[in-house]
C-alpha cells in the first residue's frame, strides 16, 4: 500500500510537470492580434486562411472581429498589432495620423442591397444604389441598418447622402438600426421583411435568408476594397512588428493571394485577391 501511494504521488508529480511544460510551451508560442471586421470572420475566410499562415510561420493569429470603426479605435489605442478592415478613407487617415506604418491592398468584393421577394420599394434588378435607397425612403419600406460605424455602415451612410435622404430622422419607424454585426443585421432584416446593405461575402455564407433576395448590385459605389496595416511600433513599442509584418507579407504574397482566391462557398469566390506589389 505504501509503495502504491508512492507510485501515485510520483505519477501526479510527473503529470503536473508535463502540464506545466505544455502550458509554458503554449505561452511561449508567438501570436499576433489582428483587429478586423465581422465580414472577414462571418464569411469564414479567416477560418480558411489563418491555419495556412500559422502552419507556415508558427505564428498564431488572434482576431478581434468588430465593425471597422471599432477595429480602428482598438488599433489607435495600440490594442492590436495589425489592422485589417474595409473603409479606405479611414484606413488612409489611420496611416496619415501616424498610427499605421503603410496600407496594403489585399482583396475586394462588393456590397449588395438585399430585400424581401415581394419588393415593396420596387427596386429589384436595379444598378443604382442611391436611387434604390431613395425609393425605399419614399415608400417608407423597412430598412435595417447596422448602425455600428462599421465599414458597411459607413458605405450605407454615403448612399443615403448621395440620395439626399437623412434616414436617422426616421429612426425607429421604417429605418431601424440594429447596432450589430452583418449576420445579426441580416437576421433582423429577415424577421422584419426589410431591406439592408450587406457585403457579398457574408451574404454568400449566410444560411437564414428567408424571404430575402439580392435587389441591387453592380453599382461602382458598391465596390468594397480591404486593406491591411501594421500598427506603428514607433507609437506603440509593444507592437509585434516582426510577426505582424510577416502576416501582412504573407497576405499579399502569391501564396496568400492564392489562398484568398481559392476560398469559395457553393463554387462562388467570396473575395478577389487585389494586392499590388
pLDDT tens digits for 78-94? 999 999 999 999 999 99
Same domain, 103 and 240: yes
| Res 24 pLDDT > 50 | no
Residue with cell 478592415: 85
| Percent above pLDDT 70 for the chain | 90
Same domain, 152 and 52: no
Same domain, 217 and 118: yes
pLDDT of residue 126: 96
Same domain, 122 and 202: yes
- The three-state secondary structure class of 173 is coil
pLDDT of residue 246: 98
Same domain, 124 and 218: yes
**Domain assignment present for 2:** no
Same domain, 76 and 211: no
Radius of gyration of the chain (CA): 23
pLDDT of residue 27: 54
pLDDT mean across residues, the chain: 91
Distance CA 34, CA 81 (A): 6
Same domain, 172 and 264: no
| Res 269 pLDDT > 60 | yes
**Domain assignment present for 201:** yes
Q: Which residues pair with 52 in a beta bridge?
A: none
Same domain, 136 and 89: no
Domain total in the chain: 2
What does pTM read for this prediction?
0.80
pLDDT of residue 2: 53
pLDDT of residue 20: 46
| Res 29 pLDDT > 90 | no
Q: Of 25-29, 60-64, 176-180, 215-219, which range is least confident?
A: 25-29
What average pLDDT does this structure show over 180-187?
93
- Please give the C-alpha separations between residue 25 and each of 13, 22, 53, 80, 240, in angstroms, as whole numbers: 18, 5, 19, 23, 19
| Res 252 pLDDT > 90 | yes
Amino acid at each position: 500500500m505504501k509503495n502504491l501511494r508512492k507510485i501515485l504521488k510520483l505519477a501526479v508529480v510527473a503529470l503536473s510537470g508535463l502540464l506545466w511544460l505544455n502550458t509554458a510551451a503554449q505561452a511561449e508560442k508567438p501570436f499576433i492580434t489582428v483587429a478586423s471586421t465581422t465580414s472577414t470572420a462571418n464569411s469564414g475566410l479567416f477560418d480558411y486562411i489563418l491555419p495556412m499562415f500559422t502552419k507556415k510561420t508558427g505564428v498564431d493569429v488572434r482576431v478581434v472581429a468588430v465593425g471597422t470603426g471599432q477595429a480602428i479605435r482598438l488599433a489607435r489605442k495600440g490594442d492590436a498589432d495589425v489592422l485589417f478592415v474595409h473603409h479606405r478613407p479611414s484606413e488612409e487617415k489611420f496611416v496619415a495620423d501616424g498610427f499605421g506604418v503603410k496600407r496594403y491592398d489585399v482583396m475586394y468584393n462588393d456590397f449588395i442591397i438585399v430585400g424581401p421577394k415581394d419588393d415593396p420599394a420596387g427596386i429589384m434588378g436595379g444598378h443604382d444604389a442611391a436611387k434604390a435607397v431613395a425609393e425605399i425612403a419614399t415608400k417608407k419600406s423597412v430598412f435595417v441598418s447596422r448602425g455600428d460605424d462599421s465599414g458597411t455602415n459607413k458605405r450605407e451612410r454615403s448612399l443615403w447622402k448621395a440620395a439626399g435622404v437623412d434616414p436617422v430622422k426616421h429612426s425607429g419607424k421604417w429605418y431601424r438600426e440594429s447596432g450589430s454585426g452583418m449576420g445579426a443585421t441580416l437576421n433582423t432584416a429577415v424577421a422584419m421583411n426589410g431591406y439592408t446593405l450587406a457585403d457579398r461575402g457574408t451574404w454568400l455564407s449566410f444560411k437564414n435568408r428567408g424571404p430575402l433576395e439580392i435587389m441591387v448590385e453592380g453599382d461602382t459605389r458598391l465596390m468594397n476594397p480591404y486593406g491591411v496595416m501594421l500598427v506603428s511600433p514607433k507609437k506603440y513599442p509593444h507592437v509585434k512588428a516582426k510577426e505582424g509584418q510577416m502576416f501582412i507579407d504573407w497576405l499579399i504574397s502569391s501564396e496568400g493571394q492564392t489562398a484568398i482566391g481559392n476560398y469559395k462557398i457553393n463554387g462562388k469566390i467570396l473575395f478577389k485577391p487585389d494586392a499590388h506589389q
